[in-house]
A and B are shown apart, each in its own frame.
Chain A
């Protein structure tokens, strides 16, 4: 059924169709309307789940961990400071191998206070052992939640997953969304089949103390293997979903007009959607540019990024966050996987922080800068902040 839904309503529908048994959540702008919508579904009897009200995001994740340990599917949602407050227990969820699915609405970290989109909140959790998938429209928000349960719950994976959407640009924007039939989603997902669970009849302990000579390191190694294994399962599940629900998702990187591109822009989230319009406009002027929208940041698409680099002379990486290291995260990781595989210039464009609007005009300027670098073969500066107030270069 086609409905008009906001990104947050789409997330709530994705959760509803996946039939989690427990939802524990704490409100935070811009996430709140996800859990409000779910609360209404439950109150109206449209969703059979236990809704646990908690006093913080830390408790929300702790409740999901406990519930999932009893052998049921769980769901929660948060943003920015809420995600940061969960940090400790995020590590527990992944270490305990609990396939929890959570929506994260990207929001800037204070100070100064900002409720608008910025990807620092999820980037700061890139090492938490969660699979991370970024989305570009409300349809992808809904579909990714359903796919994420299927991937995360595979017994060779068992890794929790964040389904990530940009604040306001998706969360509060209404679009037409195809909502799948419950029966089709039931067929696709199947009943939750936990690999292990707390059961009073068969007592077991989880997460006990391990001495340095004990298997702590092996536990972490198994998580690393599972994240590698997830590459195969993501590909399979996305292809299966495309087939069953008539979609067209690329598993890891959605490439647009990259085949003969002189320069390719690598992005996450909704920037990739706007950039496609810009690519079309520039192609009409004979400028050969393309865009590659990274969907999965964890696991990072190494092979796909290396294959992409072979098609083009230059890669410009746009980050909507900044890490105080060698450039921002998407850039640093892109450059890292290309080392020894592709000898092309790579430049980092940091833009759109705190929800500053990313317009076609500014993206076109970035593309033109990339084409100059592609032609000259030299990166003028590795990391450039785009659109700072008073910076004539980008105004």
Chain B
């Protein structure tokens, strides 16, 4: 089934820390949409490249060729790979009022809402999922693939099977573990209400 996007381009912003794979996540997600016949572009915002420093990456998706060659200022979705960024970076900046923010955290959406003033919050414990599949280390779990599975559920814009196939094709190592982590996140993400 081809999921329609509607008339407008979908814009997604990733927040992570250097080394967590935000840029690769933006590319894998683009690949998944591409595999479903969409036009895509994925790009990083290059700041000073340091391990641990906040990193931003973007994915654009459309039903028609994408001519936009500028940064994303008003995303439809924000994906946060590291909960510590919630207080370090203005993750809500420009996020559309009817958009969604998806956060890797052990907290539930209602708990996050206490400190984050936004109606549409989804949360997933991607860190625990990543560790269960032995992705990365206890100190530096690799959560970028798991959270894409959660995005599939929250957005309904791309099928989980396609996301898993894109991961299998693009993950540099442990392809199947990464794909299964996405599936686990798809099943366990908590989508908060208004």
Residues on A close to B: CB < 8 A?
Answer: 2, 4, 115-116, 136, 166, 168-170, 172-176, 270-271, 273-274, 276-277, 357-360
Contacts and interface: CB of A to CB of B under 8 A. Distances in A.
A136 B41 CA distance: 13
A166 B43 CA distance: 13
A108 to B, nearest CB: 13
B57 to A, nearest CB: 10
A4 B27 contact: yes
Contacts, number: 58
Given A174-B41, A175-B40, A274 B46 contact: no
Pick the 8 closest A-B CB pairs, nearest first.
A173-B43, A270-B69, A174-B42, A273-B67, A274-B69, A273-B69, A359-B70, A175-B41
10 contacts: A2-B34, A136-B69, A168-B44, A168-B46, A173-B42, A176-B39, A271-B69, A273-B69, A274-B69, A358-B69
Interface string B42-84: 1110100000000000000000001111110100000000000
B129 interface: no
Contacts of A166: 69
Nearest to A115: B46
B72 to A, nearest CB: 10
Contacts of B46: 115-116, 168, 172
B66 A175 contact: yes
Residue in B40, B68, B70, B73 with the greatest tally of chain A CB atoms within 10 Å: B70
A365 to B, nearest CB: 14
Contacts of B27: 4, 174
Contacts of A274: 67-70
Which of B31, B44, B46 has the most CB atoms of chain A within a 10 A radius of its CB? B46
A4 B70 contact: no
A175 B67 CA distance: 11
A4 B43 contact: no
B101 interface: no
Nearest to B45: A168
Contacts of A358: 69-70
B174 to A, nearest CB: 21
B30 interface: yes
Nearest to B66: A175
A174 B67 CA distance: 13
A168 B43 contact: yes
A20 B140 CA distance: 42
B40 A174 contact: yes
Interface string B123-137: 000000000000000
Give the interface centre of B30, B40, B68, B69 by most chain A CB atoms within 10 Å.
B69
A277 B43 contact: no
Given A168-B46, A359-B73, A174 B68 contact: no
A6 to B, nearest CB: 8
A270 B66 CA distance: 12
